[in-house]
A and B are shown apart, each in its own frame.
Chain A
């Protein structure tokens, strides 16, 4: 079975919400899901006009400007998307404030930077999980997938806040999987290699993989949001993924091969 002709078990029509922060992340994930047959709503804090490739995919994804400032505002965005497309079977979350991607010495972090950015980011994940739950618990289940840069698994100097938030998000997803599994809700976390996925990190000296020699991952490329990560999420949300929940998948091309 070739990648171009995926299993019917995986390719299942569904409603998917992509919750994204910053330009292009939502578009790329949304396009990947839409081209695989899902009806997609992108809930993002970047107005459509600010997204460099917002027009690409405009015919296959619906956009909902979203504020992540409170649980109520996230819930309102979910409600608006659900009113148009129906209850989501897949919620894909990649909502990380851009301020977290700015390398800063830990002793120079201000109280405001720490509490607003770090705690704020953690609460966005919380709000998204809660909003997803509000629909999935009524519709008999669904799949929630949170996504973040893979360096969080190994840490990076001067990215203390982002590392903290991502590992918190990963634990929160596991808690969701434990609490909501009985409702048919599955939850996962995907660590994605930086590559071109996180432009803000491309100039940041992140730890290389543990191998001696040149650092390219064994697959020769870093998985891409649209081509690869959306497909992994689609698999997790499909009936083929029904035996999985609470997993941490590492889509870094085989760089770290975490235990």
Chain B
């Protein structure tokens, strides 16, 4: 492994939805910085793939099968992490229902389509916060990070359910940060724009959109899951970011600048 700019040696991180995309990128970046990493995934095969990449670089990793919509699964993932690595310092709720790239007309949104996403984005966030609260309090520098989206800021017409749920994550972040601040735990959200598999699926389906969208990035491109998003998360987890909490941080190459 190359020498990391920031060391998280001795820290332990748990990431949901780390079987691919941004979650995998963050897991690799955190492991590269020296953290023990628990990869919590719904399908173990995807977690094993992430774990193999981490181990190939000499990192320390645990794979736990967990549906974040089920409190018992989430608590099991936290408990196994604490048992394996003797603590938990960093928790990242990255899992989502994977529907962000599907256009939806607001007037056609059903209860079922709402629940299928909310159970992962919102319920998963709460179950994870509840399960992780005790070990994060014991950490000297607890970090709780949620994955938001620029959709939640600008209210994408593209997918209103995804926009609403990610907007809600912003409120969740601010209130939990105020509640957990006295315990020394920071709570932040990141709003990434990354070239992930779902993004590629979308751009392959709507190729005319790709070039126009890329022009919206001052840096001229979407982020790379590990190098751009992962490293930013490593920074947030470092001591240098210990006084930053309750923030929704754009990690998007300058895509959304209206804040």
Contacts and interface: CB of A to CB of B under 8 A. Distances in A.
Contacts of B159: 175
A118 B126 CA distance: 11
Nearest to B103: A179
Interface in B203-259: 246, 259
A173 B170 CA distance: 15
Interface in B139-172: 151-157, 159-160, 163-172
A159 interface: yes
Interface string A139-183: 000000000000010111111100111111111111111111000
Contacts of A137: 107
Interface residues of B, number: 43
Interface stretch (A26-34, A81-89, A122-130): A122-130
A108 to B, nearest CB: 9
A52 interface: no
A173 B129 CA distance: 27
Contact of A168 (B111, B129, B157, B171): B171
Contacts of B246: 155
A159 B179 CA distance: 9
Contacts of B171: 152, 155, 163-168
B129 A106 contact: yes
B177 A155 contact: yes
A119 B118 CA distance: 8
A179 B178 contact: no
B106 A130 contact: yes
Contacts of B164: 122, 126, 168-169, 171-172, 175
Interface string A19-40: 0000000000000000000000
A168 B165 CA distance: 6
A169 to B, nearest CB: 7
Interface residues of A, number: 48
Contacts of A173: 155
Given A126-B114, A167-B167, A175 B172 contact: no
A212 interface: no
B168 A106 contact: no
A71 B123 CA distance: 22
Q: Which of B153, B176, B259 has the most CB of A within 10 A?
A: B176
Contacts of B76: none
B106 A174 contact: no
B69 to A, nearest CB: 10
Name which of B126, B155, B175, B176 has the most chain A CB atoms within 10 A of its CB: B175
B160 A167 contact: no
Contacts of A207: 178
In this complex, which of A122, A123, A156 has the most chain B Cβ atoms within 10 angstroms of its Cβ? A122
Nearest to A175: B160
Contacts of A129: 106
Contacts of B167: 167-172
Nearest to A123: B114
A178 B175 contact: no
Contacts of B56: none
Interface string A109-126: 101001100110011001
Nearest to A134: B107
Contacts of B166: 171
A180 B105 CA distance: 9
A119 B114 contact: yes
Given A107-B130, A172-B155, A179-B105, A167 B179 contact: no
Contacts of A109: 126, 130
A61 B242 CA distance: 53
Given A156-B175, A170-B167, A179 B157 contact: yes
A259 B257 CA distance: 12
Nearest to A119: B118
A171 B175 contact: no
B155 A119 contact: no
A63 interface: no
A178 B105 CA distance: 11
14 contacts: A106-B126, A106-B133, A111-B123, A123-B114, A126-B164, A133-B106, A154-B174, A157-B178, A160-B172, A163-B174, A167-B171, A168-B167, A175-B159, A178-B155
Given A156-B175, A164-B122, A246-B155, 8 more contacts: A71-B111, A106-B176, A157-B175, A164-B168, A164-B169, A171-B164, A175-B164, A179-B105
Interface of B: 71, 105-107, 109, 111, 114-115, 118, 122-123, 126, 129-130, 133, 151-157, 159-160, 163-179, 246, 259
